[in-house]
């Protein structure tokens, strides 16, 4: 099976994005595997530091590897990794990609730390894909009452310098996207013109984080402007929770986990499939 790096290049001319879905339990993994198997398209599963602490770094890696051995094009990303040590753990465990997220650091420090991560990754495993991030889009994949304070878009100048000096494979800009999803809907619009300018300037695959709550039209426009990979988490979590609430209410005496979890898997799968159809 091709590496994630090759899957990203192969997807380049298709006019479609690759999709990244987070997980912290089996229903989402099974849903993503179902989608990858049925569509034949690469799907990236991600675990943030919190999700990784819960699932286990090696367990996550073994799980995805076991699907790959069966011919299912699933890949694994160490999402929003904030320390060098956790980057090292993920690469050692065999993750296909790592996001070093130094976006909370002062810009110069973010460049220096990301560069260090890229140098280490090249030495440890040349296949692993490294993503860097600049700007602020909030931190939580949850339902929000308001847009997080302090949102800061990435400038074209920052993007150019960051990509040139760090040598990252993929770049995650802040372009009006936010982590999480607003309670009343009305997610801020994506800055499509900024995506296009950054893409023209850096010419490497761009990643859109925080895609929960954005309209289909906005996401399609983002792909048209140069986004290669889209991250979704909160919408999956909401679908999971709603389906479990309904399953518990419908079967108050059921205690067999998989008989309840199958509804969550189906609900999460429906969200994933709708996104991948965009």
* Residue 232 sits in the site that holds ligand G3H (CB under 6 A): yes
- Among the listed ranges 62-70, 89-97, 148-156, 208-216, the one in contact with ligand G3H (CB under 6 A) is 208-216
Which residues 6+ apart lie within 8 Å of 191 measured at CB? 153, 175, 176
Catalytic residues: 79
* Residue 231 sits in the site that holds ligand G3H (CB under 6 A): yes
**Listed residue (74, 63, 13) closest to 39, CA to CA:** 74
**Listed residue (261, 238, 209, 210) closest to 30, CA to CA:** 261
User: From the list 115, 209, 237, 275, which residue makes contact with Zn ion (rule: CB under 5 A)?
Assistant: 209
Q: What length does the chain have? A: 278
* Residue 233 sits in the site that holds ligand G3H (CB under 6 A): yes
Burial of 148 (0-12, 13-18, 19+ CB in 10 A): middle
Footprint (CB under 5 A) of Zn ion, residues 230-249: 231
Residue at token pair 């890229």? 118
* Residue 179 sits in the site that holds ligand G3H (CB under 6 A): yes
Shortest Å distance, C-beta 256 to Zn ion: 34
User: Max alpha carbon distance in the chain (Å)?
Assistant: 59
User: From the list 91, 98, 211, 225, which residue makes contact with ligand G3H (rule: CB under 6 A)?
Assistant: 211
Which of 240/260 has CB closer to ligand G3H? 240
Partner whose binding site includes residue 233, from Zn ion, ligand G3H, none (CB under 5 to 8 Å by kind) = ligand G3H
| Conformational region of residue 174, where left means phi above 0, alpha means psi within -120 to 50, and beta covers everything else | beta
Tally Cβ neighbours within 10 Å of residue 278.
15
DSSP states of 236-260 as a string? HHHHHHHHHHHHHHH-TT---HHHH
Shortest Å distance, C-beta 142 to ligand G3H: 8
The answer to whether 190 and 221 have CB atoms below 8 angstroms apart is yes
The contact mask relative to ligand G3H for 46-85 (x = CB under 6 A, - = no) is: x--------------------------------xx-----
User: From the list 22, 110, 114, 154, which residue makes contact with ligand G3H (rule: CB under 6 A)?
Assistant: 22
Footprint (CB under 6 A) of ligand G3H, residues 132-151: 141
**Interface size with ligand G3H, residues (CB under 6 A):** 16
* Residue 210 sits in the site that holds ligand G3H (CB under 6 A): yes
Helix (H) / strand (E) element for 208: namely: strand 206-208
Query: Site residues (CB under 6 A) for ligand G3H?
Result: 22, 46, 79-80, 141, 179-181, 209-212, 231-234
């Amino acid at each position: 099976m091709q590496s994630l790096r090759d899957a990203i290049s192969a997807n380049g001319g298709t006019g479609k994005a690759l999709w990244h879905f987070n997980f912290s339990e089996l229903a989402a993994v099974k849903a993503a595997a179902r989608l990858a198997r049925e569509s034949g398209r690469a799907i990236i599963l991600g675990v943030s530091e919190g999700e990784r602490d819960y699932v286990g770094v090696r367990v996550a890696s073994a799980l995805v590897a076991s699907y790959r051995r069966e011919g299912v094009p699933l890949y694994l990303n160490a999402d929003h990794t904030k320390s060098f040590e956790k980057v090292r753990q993920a690469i050692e465990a065999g993750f296909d990609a790592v996001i070093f997220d130094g976006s909370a650091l002062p810009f110069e420090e973010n460049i220096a730390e990301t560069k260090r991560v890229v140098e280490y990754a090249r030495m440890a495993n040349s296949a692993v894909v490294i993503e860097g991030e600049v700007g602020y889009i909030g931190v939580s994949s949850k339902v929000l009452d308001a847009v997080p304070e302090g949102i800061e878009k990435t400038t074209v100048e920052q993007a150019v310098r960051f990509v040139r000096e760090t040598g990252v494979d993929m770049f995650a800009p802040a372009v009006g996207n936010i982590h999480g999803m607003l309670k009343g809907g009305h997610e801020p619009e994506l800055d499509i013109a900024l995506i296009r300018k950054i893409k023209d300037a850096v010419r490497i695959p761009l990643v859109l984080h925080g895609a929960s709550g954005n309209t289909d039209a906005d996401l399609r426009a983002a792909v048209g402007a140069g986004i290669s990979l889209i991250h979704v988490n909160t919408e999956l979590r909401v679908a999971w929770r709603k389906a479990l609430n309904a399953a518990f209410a419908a079967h108050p005496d059921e205690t067999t986990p998989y008989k309840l979890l199958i509804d969550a898997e189906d609900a999460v799968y429906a969200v994933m499939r709708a996104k991948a159809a965009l």
